A and B are shown apart, each in its own frame.
Chain A
Amino acid sequence: MNEMTGMNENPLDLLPEVLLAASAVLGLLLGAWLPRRRQWLTGAMAGAACIGGIVAAAIAAAKPVETAFGESFAIDPLTATSRIVILGGTLLVLTLAMPRLYADPRETEFYVLLQLAAVGALVLAGAQDLLLLAAGYLLASVPAYALAGFRKDGPGTEAALKYYVVGALLGVLMLTGITVLLAAGRATAYPMLRSELAEAPAGLVAVGTLALLAGVLFKAGGVPGHFWVPDAVQGSSAPVAAFLTTIPKIGALAALYRLGAVPLADADLPWADLVAVLSVASMTLGNLAAFFQQDVKRLLAYSTISQVGYLLLPVAVAGRTGLDQVALLYYLAGYALTNLGAFSVVCALPGPDAIDDYRGLARAHPALLGSLVVCLLGLVGTPPTAVFLGKLEAFSAAFDGGYAWLAVVAAVNTVASLFYYLRWIAPAFLARGPAGDSRTTSRTAAVIAYGAAAGSVALGLLGGTVLDVLGGPLAP
């Protein structure tokens, strides 16, 4: 595509992505041969690939910023953090899913789909070229459609269908947007687009950006691409729901940030205002819709939509302050851990799925419900959890970028969100429930829930060390 191609085509630069993709392909082959009770090996391999990827990403993070494969893939703090969070999140989801799927006829398929979707998220996070972004979008979406309907039951089919239809529509819109931006900027690589779009006709850039945003917001699960979230989350199994609301979001938000900070940074476009409006819409709609939900998964689904709204605060002021990048990355990490923690509790208690079923459950499962309190109050932003510090940084970034009103709206929304989280937690602790209830629980999921809850507090307390690592320049 440009003359620099051929200068740096070292696949080792993409080691985390390559590892996960290779493990997926190898798993698919192995799965065809392994007996059913040994299929878990492919899952274990996926876990190993995640761990290897995290190590590789951490090592790569220590090196100077560069781009790989021409200028199409950035290796900078944004990619590094997203890689670690995505792979860590995938690892947690794998651990949640493995005990449930043991000796399932389609066990391997699940792991393969999960890994491919995670690779898609990784590509989204690092893409430095619109075409690669589109490829990442498809790679993150197509396996996820299959995951949503993996149970092959009524709600699962509905979930997959809705997810697919919205995804296909917005995907086409996204490709249109890419075409328009190509027409406007005569390139798809971000560095070239940055200078070209600055002089391109504003209307063309605006139309192209809007269409492009539709696709990215679909992956992020933010308004207006959020319609699939509640149904897909409610209809799919709890681990898949955890995956869908966490992993693609990280890739998409990183991609969105990069779009705002690099190719569109100098364009004649009200980027900040646009994202601010989307942010307000996401948090407000998500919160309002969550208010009277009865199903806990659906409630969490709407809560993730509102979280996208908060996560868009630093995206709105991308590249304008000294705080936005750190704020986004830290919040993403905190959000991923906390949200996965909340879903782990849901996984660990397969019986109840309505809020009323949680009444008095704290007597039977004090530690699990304690973790739920930490995670949900964490999502509200109660100190000293990680999301609190993330919100603090995000609010500060918005303030610093001249969007104080956005921080105020986010604060008001935060209060509103407290209401529905309390609707869930309070009866669990305060109502009289069935004492000595012996409903089955998943021990692995419970351990992950404890770990995620403790981790979100620890991440908050150790925020100083983490924040220091997240700074640094983006790839040019």
Chain B
Amino acid sequence: MLTAIVLLPTAMAALLLCLPRSTPRTLFLTAWVVTTAAELVLTVIVWARYRADGGMQYETRARWIPSAGISYHVGVDGLSLPLVAVTCVLFLACALYAWRETRKVREFAALFLFLQTTCLGLFVALDLILFFVFFDLSIVAMYFIIAGWGHQGAARAALKFFLYTFIGSLALLLGFIGLYLATDPHTFDIVELTRANPLAGRSTYGALVLLAIAVGLAVKTPTVPFHTWLPPAHTDAPAAGSAILAGVLLKMGTYGFLRIAMPVLPGAWRDHALVFVVVGVVSVLYGALVALAQNDFKRMVAYTSVNHMGYIILAIGAAGAVGAGHEEARRLAVTGSVFQMVSHGLLTGALFLLSGVLYERGRTYEMSAYSGVAGRAPVFAAMTGVAAFASLGLPGFSGFIAEFQILTGSLGPEPVATGLAVLGILLTAGLFLRALQQVFLGPLRLPAAAPGADRPFPDILRHEALAIVPLLALGVVLGLAPRFVLDVIEPASRAVLELLAR
């Protein structure tokens, strides 16, 4: 079942590439939308038949390269299932959003479908090499999306993105090799490695392996100081690419921490948890402060991603403070971090698509070029407002549940750091309100110099609304009735903490 979910988009992509380029545009787009919708349906079926407290499910394990300890091993549990679901939702949203795309549609659809395979494959992978394969291929696919369909400067931004994340992936690979050689018999299987806890009692080796893995994942997440690839990549990527980059690809880093670093290297994680707490807080504050200084709407949203990812790093760092009591609190922190991944995926995906809507109309992301847009485009303004409020963590939206859990959970083990992190919420509230006020309120002013400046600023179009409204609706649903997701996450976060306490 999982294998089908993972491979279906790539099969479709291959099929699309076989069609001649002269095939009507709508055929490619329809095929893309239908495939992503089918993926979502399949994922809903998987979710419906998933038993919340059943541990790893839908497992498939096949021999691949036995002599190198590599197998094809996939499965889902409470950590990965919500992310698989978010991935499918976001890819469907992007397919709908791209309905008006005219540039090289065949390749665009095929690349996104291929990217969907790599994202889903990564979240269900239970073998380090399989994880790495999807990790690397996602970089390749995203590189071509940014470079091929981005704005000016996209080639440079894409190269920067590729080089940075590729460095990260190689650090990751070295860490994986370290784990592989430490187990007896040598294996790359995550489940077996988790069971074996291979580096227990070898603190230097464990620290070095954790360093390699953490650097690899931190580049992807990204945390300060490895975040510098993110703003240009986001600014110059096409809207749908940004949405996937922020909504799904960034989660690969944080998911890797929860899936690999914490369970396989519990000793090293406990010893160095404070590093993650510090990095998390710095990311929260730095991301928020730099976002506050931006005039470019998309760049601002990109920096808030650094801020939001910082909360996750803070939470999983705080979860490493084993032995000081706070059992319940630490569980809350881990659950909150997974929930934050889901929530951030939906909301930032929506924000990036909305910034694409803005760009479509004004040909610039500069906030100072706009004013009073709410008068022309009330629905657009309302949607952006909802997304912004949800993203800054207003009660009633998913972001609130996530950040509340993270901060409550982290407060016990790490009171000072958490206190500082709360400031981040204030800053994000300020910057989102300022942005909303600048763009939507006041007297009407639209970009002057941009081509098409005299054209009207139409309100949200149907395909755009179809893409974005469900994301926001899910944000509200998860904010009001989060139980059905939390029920899935909580057993998994308990399991992670039990593994961490070994």
Q: Give residues in A with beta carbon < 8 Å to B.
A: 326, 377, 382-384, 389, 392-393, 395-396, 399-400, 404, 407-408, 411-412, 414-415, 418-419, 422, 426, 429-430, 463-464, 467-468, 471
CB contacts (< 8 Å) of B129 on chain A: these are 383, 392
> In the complex, are the beta carbons of A396 and B181 less than 8 A apart?
yes
CB contacts (< 8 Å) of B318 on chain A: these are none
Task: Give Cα distance in the complex from A467 to B66, angstroms.
Answer: 9
Q: Does B341 contact A (CB under 8 A)?
A: no
Q: Does B485 contact A (CB under 8 A)?
A: no
What distance in Å separates the Cβ of A428 from its nearest Cβ neighbour in chain B?
11
Of B158, B163, B178, the contact of A418 (CB 8 Å cutoff): B163
CB contacts (< 8 Å) of A407 on chain B: these are 174, 177
Task: Give Cα distance in the complex from A468 to B70, angstroms.
Answer: 13
CB contacts (< 8 Å) of A429 on chain B: these are 144, 147-148
The interface residues of chain B, by DSSP majority, are classed as helix
> In the complex, are the beta carbons of A426 and B155 less than 8 A apart?
yes
CB contacts (< 8 Å) of B63 on chain A: these are 464
Additional pairs, 18, CB under 8 Å, beyond known A389-B65, A415-B166: A377-B140, A382-B140, A395-B174, A395-B177, A396-B177, A408-B174, A411-B173, A412-B167, A412-B170, A414-B170, A418-B162, A426-B155, A429-B147, A429-B148, A463-B65, A463-B70, A464-B68, A467-B67
The 10 A-B pairs at the shortest CB distance, nearest first, are namely: A464-B65, A383-B133, A411-B170, A467-B67, A463-B65, A415-B167, A396-B177, A430-B147, A399-B177, A468-B67
Q: Which residue of B lies closest to A411 (CB)?
A: B170
The interface residues of chain A, by DSSP majority, are classed as helix
CB contacts (< 8 Å) of B163 on chain A: these are 415, 418-419
What distance in Å separates the Cβ of A14 from its nearest Cβ neighbour in chain B?
29
Q: Does B136 contact A (CB under 8 A)?
A: yes
Task: Give Cα distance in the complex from A429 to B155, angstroms.
Answer: 11
> In the complex, are the beta carbons of A418 and B147 less than 8 A apart?
no
Task: Give Cα distance in the complex from A430 to B152, angstroms.
Answer: 12
CB contacts (< 8 Å) of B174 on chain A: these are 395, 399, 404, 407-408, 411
Q: Which residue of A lies closest to B71 (CB)?
A: A464
Q: Which of B401-446 contact A (CB under 8 A)?
A: none
> In the complex, are the beta carbons of B166 and A463 less than 8 A apart?
no
What distance in Å separates the Cβ of B179 from its nearest Cβ neighbour in chain A?
11
Q: Does B276 contact A (CB under 8 A)?
A: no
CB contacts (< 8 Å) of A412 on chain B: these are 167, 170
CB contacts (< 8 Å) of B65 on chain A: these are 389, 463-464, 467
Instruction: Show 11 A/B contacts (Cβ-Cβ < 8 Å), sorted by A.
Output: A383-B129, A384-B133, A392-B129, A396-B180, A399-B178, A404-B174, A411-B174, A419-B159, A426-B159, A429-B148, A463-B65
CB contacts (< 8 Å) of A418 on chain B: these are 162-163, 166
CB contacts (< 8 Å) of B162 on chain A: these are 418, 422
Q: Does B199 contact A (CB under 8 A)?
A: no
Q: Which of B162-210 contact A (CB under 8 A)?
A: 162-163, 166-167, 170-171, 173-174, 177-178, 180-181
> In the complex, are the beta carbons of B159 and A422 less than 8 A apart?
yes
CB contacts (< 8 Å) of B68 on chain A: these are 389, 392-393, 396, 463-464, 467
What distance in Å separates the Cβ of B331 from its nearest Cβ neighbour in chain A?
35
> In the complex, are the beta carbons of B144 and A464 less than 8 A apart?
no
Q: Does B359 contact A (CB under 8 A)?
A: no
Of B136, B147, B171, the contact of A383 (CB 8 Å cutoff): B136
What distance in Å separates the Cβ of A463 from its nearest Cβ neighbour in chain B?
5
Instruction: With A383-B137, A384-B133, A430-B155 as known contacts, state yes or no: A326 contacts B181, CB within 8 Å.
Output: no
A414, A422, A429, A468: most-surrounded residue (chain B CB, <10 A): A422
Q: Which of B54-78 contact A (CB under 8 A)?
A: 63-68, 70
CB contacts (< 8 Å) of B64 on chain A: these are 463-464
Q: Does B47 contact A (CB under 8 A)?
A: no
> In the complex, are the beta carbons of B171 and A411 less than 8 A apart?
yes
Task: Give Cα distance in the complex from A404 to B178, angstroms.
Answer: 9
Q: Does B226 contact A (CB under 8 A)?
A: no
What distance in Å separates the Cβ of A19 from its nearest Cβ neighbour in chain B?
31
Q: Does B457 contact A (CB under 8 A)?
A: no
Q: Does B50 contact A (CB under 8 A)?
A: no
What distance in Å separates the Cβ of A317 from its nearest Cβ neighbour in chain B?
12
Q: Which residue of A lies closest to B148 (CB)?
A: A430
Task: Give Cα distance in the complex from A407 to B174, angstroms.
Answer: 8
Q: Which of B107-148 contact A (CB under 8 A)?
A: 129, 132-133, 136-137, 140, 144, 147-148
